[in-house]
Structures are given as C-alpha cells and as structure tokens.
Amino acid sequence: MERLNDRCIRISVRTLVEFVMRSGDLDNRTSTAMEREAMLAGGRMHRKIQKQMGSNYEAEVGLKTKVTLAVSQEETDNHTVDFEDEIEIIVEGRADGIIKEDEAVTIDEIKGMYQDVAKFEDAFPVHKAQAICYAYMYVQNNELDSAWIQMTYCNLDTEEIKRFRYYYNADQLKQQFMEYINEYGKWAKFLYLHRRERKASIQGMEFPFAYRKGQRDIVVSVYRSIIRQTRLFIQAPTGIGKTISVLFPAVKAVGEGYGDKIFYLTAKTITRAVAEESFQVMRKNGMKLSSVTITAKEKLCVIPEMDCNPISCPRAKGHFDRVNHAVFDLITNETEASREVILAYAQKHNVCPFEMCLDVSTWMDAIICDYNYVFDPNIRLQRYFAETTTGEYLFFIDEAHNLVERAREMYSAVLIKETFLEAKRRMKASVTLIKKLDRCNRIMLQLKRECDTWKQLEEGEGIGALVLAVETLFGELQKWEESHPEYRRSKEDSEFFFSLRNFLAAYDRMDENYRVYTQHLEEGRFVVKILCVNPAKEIRACLDQGMSSVFFSATMLPIRYYKQLLSGEQNDYAIYAHSPFDTTKRLLLIGNDVTSRYSRRVRTEYQKIVQYIASIAGAKHGNYLVFFPSYGYMMDVLSIIEQQTLVYEYQVQKNSMTEHEREQFLEAFTEQNEKSFVGFCVSGGIFSEGIDLKGKRLIGVIMIGASLPQVCAEREILKRFYEEKEMDGFAYAYRYPAMNKVMQAAGRLIRTEQDYGVIALLDDRFLREEYISQFPIEWADYEVTSLHHVSEKLRQFWKNIKKRKDVF
C-alpha cells in the first residue's frame, strides 16, 4: 500500500465551492429541493439527459489539478514553526459532461430539482462555481484559451429543462479558481501543520497497557488489515479491551501514512464513551491526534423544539456567516471535540451546535459517531460519502452484531395507507394535491383488499403503479411548497414528506436483496413495506468508499452469518480472540428440564422457572440478572413470584424507561444489599448489552428460554429468502439472532480478571447440536443440570470460589 503524502491535501470540487461560498442563514424551509437533488444525484434523470446529448457529448469526465501553496511561520497562527515549506492542494471531481463543437468546449453541469426551473433568471452561484472549477481544470489540462460553462437545470417532475451558458477565457477561469483556493488556503495549511505534529507524536508510541491474552493478536491483525486495505471480522470476548486494541493500531497506521481519518462507529452512547476514553489514554502518552464525537441533533439543539430557521432559532440567522470562524477557533485550540466542547464554542460564536459539529469533523482525525452517519442513505455524511467519492478512511464498527438489524431498517421503507387520508384532511387548500393523494389512497386500498393478514408481493405483483403515483405526489408537494414560501411544515407534514421520499429512494435501490410485502397492523393500519432482507451490498458500497474496515463484537458467531449480512464476502479475514479470563471462576449451567416453547408456556413451567431463580439467588448472597424472552413471559412468571415469600429482593425493567430510570435500575446493583438482589429484564433489551457491572455488583446471569424472535411477517420473509438460496432459513431468521441475544446477556458477567459468577441457560434446546455449535470456545465446559441437582452444583462451585484468593 502506498503511504499518504503529508504535504498533499485532497478536496473535491463540490466540497471546495460549498465550503468557501457559503453564507447567510440556516433555513430548513428552503432545503427540500436540495435534499431531493442530493437523493437523486447520479440518478435516472441525470443519466437520461446525458444520453440525449449526442455523440459530441462525453459524460462523467474525471478531472484533477494540483495547486502549490507556500507555508511560512507568519501564516501558521497557533503553530510555531521555524521552516518554510510547500503544500499541494489536489482538487478533483467529475464533470457531468464535456461538449466539443468545432473549436469550442463547453463544461456541462446538470442539476435535477423540483423547483420551477422556468422561473430561474440565473444559475445558482455555488453551481456556477462548481462548473468554473471544472472548466479551469479542463482548460489547464488541455492547454486551451477559453471554455464555456453550461448550467442545465431539469425539473424532475415535468422534465422541463432550462440552461444558462457563460463564456470565460483562461485567465478569468484561473483568477476565479485561485480565489476559491486562496480562501481555502489557511485551512489547508492548518491540516498540513497538524499532520506533521500528529505524525511526530505517534512515532515510537507504545501500547498503553500490559497486553492481556488475545489483545496482541487483535492489534497485529487490525494493523495488517489496514496495510492490506481489507475487511476484518473480530470475535473477541467482553472485557478483553477491544476498543483500545483496535484504535491503537489504527492510530499507528495513520501516523505512518496508511490512512487519514478514523471512523469509530457505534450503536449506543456508552460505547462512544469508551472510544473517547481510549483516545484520552493515548493523548496522555503524547499522542496529538484529534477527535470529535457527533451527538444527535436533538441532544445538541438549544431551543425547545428543533426548527432550524431564522424565525424559530436566533442562531440560524447568519449562521453560515459565522460558522467558519467558530470551527477554526475550535480546531486550533482543542484536540477533543466532545459534546460539551461543541456546545461551548457554538455558544461563543452564536451558531448551531449540530451543524458546527459536522463542520468540525472535516478537520478532525477521528470521528466517533452512530452507524447512521456512515450507512443510513438519508443521514450519512454527504461531505465524505456523496455519490461515489472515496477517501483515506478507516472504519471501525463496534458491537457489529447490531448493524444487521439497524442496516435492514436503514435501507427499508414503509408507506402507511391512513397517512394519505390524514394528509388529505390537512391539505384541503390544494385541489391538485387532493387528487394526487386520492390516487395513492385508491392504489393502497386495492392492495389492502388483496391482503388477509400479510402478503409478500411476488414478481409480477409489483408496486410500480403505487411508486408512480407517489412520485407524482412528491413532485407536486415540492412545487406547492415552492409556490407558498410562507408555508411552514408541521411535524406531521414533515413525517409524511420524508416517508414518501424514503419510499422512492428504497424503490430506486431495489434488487434481488429486497422483498415487498403488505400487512394489516394490529392497530388497524395498513402498510406497504420495501424490506431490505440482506443489507450486505449496501453496507459494502459504503465501506468501499474508504480503505479498510474492521467489524468487532463479543458475539460474532457464527462468523459466516455476519459475513453474509455485513459484507457478503466469505473470504474476508476473521480472527477469534480467546478470553483472558479463568473459566474456573465461572459456572455455566444448562437446565434440561425446562423450556420456553410456546406449547409449554403453562403455569407448571413458570413454577419451575421460579424455583430455579430462587435456588440460584439463594445459593450465594449477591446480585443477579434474569433475562426473559419477552415482556409478556416475564409478567406471567412475576405473577407467581409475587405470591411467594422470597429469599431475594427484585426490580423489574419497565417499558420505555427514561435515562434517569435506567440509571436508577443499575444503581440498585450495589455490594451493600442486605439480601440477594435480582433484576428482571427482557432479552435483547436495554440491559442485555452495554452495561458494565463489575466485581460483586453482579455474580449471576439467568437466561430464560432460547430468546427466539416472535413469528411475524418479516421473520417469515427472511426465512423464505434464505431457503430459496438453499440455506438454513430458520437459522438466519430465528436461531442466529436468538443466540446473539443469549451471548450478549451472558456477557454482562465476568468483566475483569477478579470477577466470578454463574451463568444459567434454562431451556433444554440449548443442549441441541445446532445451539451448542454456536457456543464460544470458552463455553465448552458447560454442565447439564436440573431442579433436583442445581443446588448441589451451586454449593460446590461457591465452595471452590471461597477458597480462592484471586477474586473480590
């Protein structure tokens, strides 16, 4: 792999002009057309126009130029240097089209939108600037004296086209282009000087801790994966120190020029905090690598209800006039842009903290964020992942088992029939919109009549008519909003608008990895859903925009399942990191006389569960977690527990707990409880992963049942999808996700080398070969038990633990 050149700063044409030319207000009321344009960038209309242009039209022409800037001490602001040097700014992009007619050359820039293009009197300045950059590069590369630029605006609904043409000689193009470069210059110089400092600080940096068993293997494997620009899957047990083990080699690789920006992707806030702590540890050892944590917009917003426009939010007024100053202030004074730091600088400069946070990320070495900022087509960061752009990005996907279901939802979309009727009642003022809404409703009504409970639409039963009607409605909505500038969307209107947009986008993505189904929901609503069954292709396309990707989790078994759904490539590298913890400090029991099968969900079975819990909690004073397969099952068991005299105290996970309620729930797991304490939870819920109860705060985990997902339309569609591919459909739809929940919950126990405790799997199905084959290697010492023998096994285990000196 070729190492990156510290003196080379790369930037796309679009990023350059949008960055240096932005000004004015932050206003969500005028952004819908741009949102739609971004969604359809490179889409059908774009290609259609290009095909119509004739033989002298060359489409999608890649262009690149290099500009040299001097760096001197006087220009470095907060950096102190005693040298003069040069940096190279490489500007690159792809012109939509080059038209050659006799001696004349025209650079064509195509923009699709739903605005009434007939009313345009001139090209948008930022679009014009983009075309000027392409024209400059083409003229320079081909030694021409001049060029035309052409802005082609197309209404995506009517296909009406309006063009603007402008003539520039070579000197004019160069002058305009250099204005953009000079404006960007101080930022490029900052990047260069920071990279020098970063590189020097990382050289010779050592792993900050003594290696645990298995950690060195992870570090070496991640480093090699980055150097080879490959994908890597890591199965590593909880407590081994996965985060520092993947970030340390990533930092070393960046310092050696094998990458430029680290994306640490998580599903939960708590794992983001662990990544922040890992960077902090390395900074204490002298590392000069900067990082930013992207916090959700609603958690950063400074007004009671998010409404990003100058009427509702004072910071939106003139935001773009001030935000570049705010960003430069932060990046030249901070190495860690946490939520608190972002809020402080945003307040200082009176700008939107969320938009500022996104801008800050451009200049930081590492970005800690949720999955959706990379993978979700509606949310992903366009500054890095627009169209087919690539970068020197290193992706690290923490708790990667969560990405399967998250990605399915990201790439799926749903329409609810009743929302069309609700929208009709809200939009009485427009006769045209009423007609378009009625058309969509009639098609949905026909689909509803053809569906009993749920129905998978086979090939030939497509939704083409519905898509066409929705597309027409969406275009009419855009035009209506444009012609009514005083209109402000309500929350309901926004949700309806984006449901249409997302549905059209999902339809554009549809291929053999998608299925369409209709369903009557329990609350009486009727839906049409485009379901992404296998998101691997979509995920891989996102990751291919970077250089290397590492998926890691404590529950990545079976690895072939996760390769199938996260990359689609069984040849991807994978490693199994062995647990550093002594398995003799942990007793793993499987109850062979109890089950949570639906056919045996009766009072006598519940009573066995109650007896098991009492035996385990009564054998040793301490704190325990019990995980049930569903909330309903938990309530059935609790109805019996409430009638008994207990040897333990307990609390129950509630539906929709607030953050404060979650904290209170966990605070109850103390070492000072007078009796054994039991927390009753739902498998796969908020307490089954991401919580850290070390030492005596937790000495036992009890799994009730195999945690199989409930039979439903989507699970049955998944099952059928994989059976059609001659694979184990039941495993992919039910058993693999279930065992993941089991192993995640069991992972709450044994977090440090001093921890000890009991794991009890109460369901005879765990003794089947298809379940045992999914056990991690460390579970090979499981013991089979029953109600008659469990007390004796527990007594002997706790007796042995008491003799040890290496436990709390």
pLDDT-derived band at 630 (thresholds 50, 70, 90) equals very high
Q: What's the Cα-to-Cα distance from 297 to each of 302, 306, 432, 479, rounded to whole Å?
A: 10, 8, 35, 28
Q: Side chain identity at 7, as an amino acid letter?
A: R
pTM of the full structure: 0.89
CA atoms of 357 and 525, how far apart (whole Å): 39
Q: Show Cβ contacts of residue 424 under 8 Å, excluding neighbours closer than 6 positions.
A: 434, 437, 438, 441
Six-digit token string for 173: 């193009």
pLDDT given for residue 31 in this prediction: 53
Q: List, for residues 454-488, the tens digit of each pLDDT value.
A: 999 987 677 889 999 999 999 888 888 877 777 77
Q: List, for residues 233-266, the tens digit of each pLDDT value.
A: 999 988 889 999 999 999 999 999 999 999 999 9
Six-digit token string for 671: 């070492």
Angle at 419 between CA 415 and CA 424, to 5 degrees: 130
Q: What's the Cα-to-Cα distance from 282 to each of 68, 194, 204, 582, rounded to whole Å?
A: 34, 17, 12, 28
Distance of alpha carbon 693 from the chain centroid: 27
Q: Show Cβ contacts of residue 442 under 8 Å, excluding neighbours closer than 6 positions.
A: none
The whole-chain average pLDDT of the chain stands at: 90
Which strand (E) or helix (H) includes residue 81?
Answer: none
CA atoms of 783 and 70, how far apart (whole Å): 70
Span of 3-12, 344-353, 561-570, 664-673 with lowest mean pLDDT: 3-12
Q: List, for residues 18-50, the tens digit of each pLDDT value.
A: 899 988 888 876 654 444 444 444 456 666 777
First to last CA, the chain: 48
Judge contact between 4 and 258, C-beta under 8 A. Answer: yes
CA atoms of 596 and 763, how far apart (whole Å): 7
> Position of tokens 């129905």?
455
**Is pLDDT of 525 > 70?**
yes
Q: List, for residues 369-428, the tens digit of each pLDDT value.
A: 999 999 999 889 988 887 667 889 999 999 999 999 999 999 999 999 999 999 998 887
pLDDT given for residue 3 in this prediction: 65
Q: Which residue has the higher pLDDT, 567 or 481?
A: 567
DSSP state of 288: -
> Position of tokens 């409880």?
673
CA quadruple 12, 15, 19, 20: dihedral positive or negative? positive
Asked, as a colleague might, if the bond just before 558 is cis with ω within 30 of 0, I would say yes
637-662 burial, b at 16+ Cβ within 10 Å, e below that, comes to bbeebeeeebebebebbeeeeeeeee
Q: List, for residues 94-142, the tens digit of each pLDDT value.
A: 898 999 988 889 999 988 877 788 888 999 999 999 999 999 999 999 9
